[in-house]
Chains A and B, each alone.
Chain A
């Protein structure tokens, strides 16, 4: 696994950090339908102040359904991590190591902010002292850019950074099994997405909930969470729009795909900019720009219309 292979035909720029690296594991395992695995499922269930689901089912269950592969997680005491990695990297199966971005030396958030992160380790060098690390995370942050990269790192130094004593634990995961070709047909996926969207809206947990969460001053924590939530939603919608565009087997789906590309994804991106701007203004002691809330109202409206078009497409026989 190399940085070149990371950059080639990757969806990393449309994925959050853990999923960008999970994509590497899926590709290494030989999964053919990576776009469906990562971008086919699409919903929005918001329960502020801290819960946002962007798929109808949890990702790991979704992966199992679409590929037959299972993401097996092991929690390892920091001191045992290196021995564990020696055991699991003896085969040709890379591992995902979960860590706090604050303590990942090459991550732009290192020393600045705490976020869940994960990166791939896939080999030891001949000396047994250095690990080969690949990290597909792609993003522009206020602390610098994250771009797909690979490096050899001194394993003990990395462990000291990731899991300083006393005894913090780390989680390591690997994909297990052999991928099977058959996945849910696209029409079934769309039906599941639309059903989840309609249920979430009916119980007030749809995208409109995000606009309502802006609330009144003081805004601090709410805007910080909304900024992250909107960033995640913007990437999710851009990837799902790509899934529609590339799912050529969906006859008559062009209008839904175009609406995703031309309206939904840009509207969420504009909301992400607006909410991020508001978050930084409030953090600097300034007033919250009212447009932050309006931008979320507009994103929710675009979302509503998109799923309504999907419903119409399904009700008309999914173009068949």
Chain B
């Protein structure tokens, strides 16, 4: 199911933090200076809305924000 969530997460990243380079599934999100705490709030909200599911509170951890793939997996591990 990650294959379904991943493109949505990638699109949300583009929407929330316009970057001058392509973000891939393994891009280290927390190392992007543009992805500050404000942007993380917006990114999770945007992905929740696009995917139609709420990210469970216990999955809001740094590991879930390590990469777009990790975030997609956090949404799907239900």
Contacts and interface: CB of A to CB of B under 8 A. Distances in A.
Interface string A196-218: 00000000000000000000000
Contact of B60 (A270, A272, A281): A281
Main secondary structure of the interface of B (DSSP, over half): helix
A291 interface: yes
A291 B36 contact: no
A276 B54 CA distance: 18
A246 interface: no
Contact of A286 (B40, B54, B61): B54
Contacts of A141: 38
B36 A140 contact: yes
Contact of B38 (A140, A281, A284, A286): A140
B38 A142 contact: yes
Interface residues of A, number: 19
Interface in A264-299: 270, 272-274, 276-278, 280-281, 284, 286-291
Contacts of A142: 38, 41
A276 B58 contact: no
B27 to A, nearest CB: 18
A142 B38 CA distance: 6
Interface centre among A278, A287, A289 (most CB of B within 10 A): A289
Interface string B37-77: 11011001100000000101110111000000000000000
A289 B40 CA distance: 14
A277 B57 contact: no
Nearest to A272: B37
A290 B57 CA distance: 7
A286 B56 CA distance: 9
Contacts of A280: 41
Given A289-B61, A291-B60, A277 B41 contact: yes
Contact of B57 (A140, A270, A276, A287): A287
A257 B46 CA distance: 39
A280 B36 CA distance: 14
7 contacts: A140-B38, A273-B37, A276-B37, A276-B41, A277-B44, A286-B57, A287-B57
Given A276-B37, A276-B38, 6 more contacts: A140-B36, A142-B38, A273-B37, A277-B37, A284-B45, A289-B60
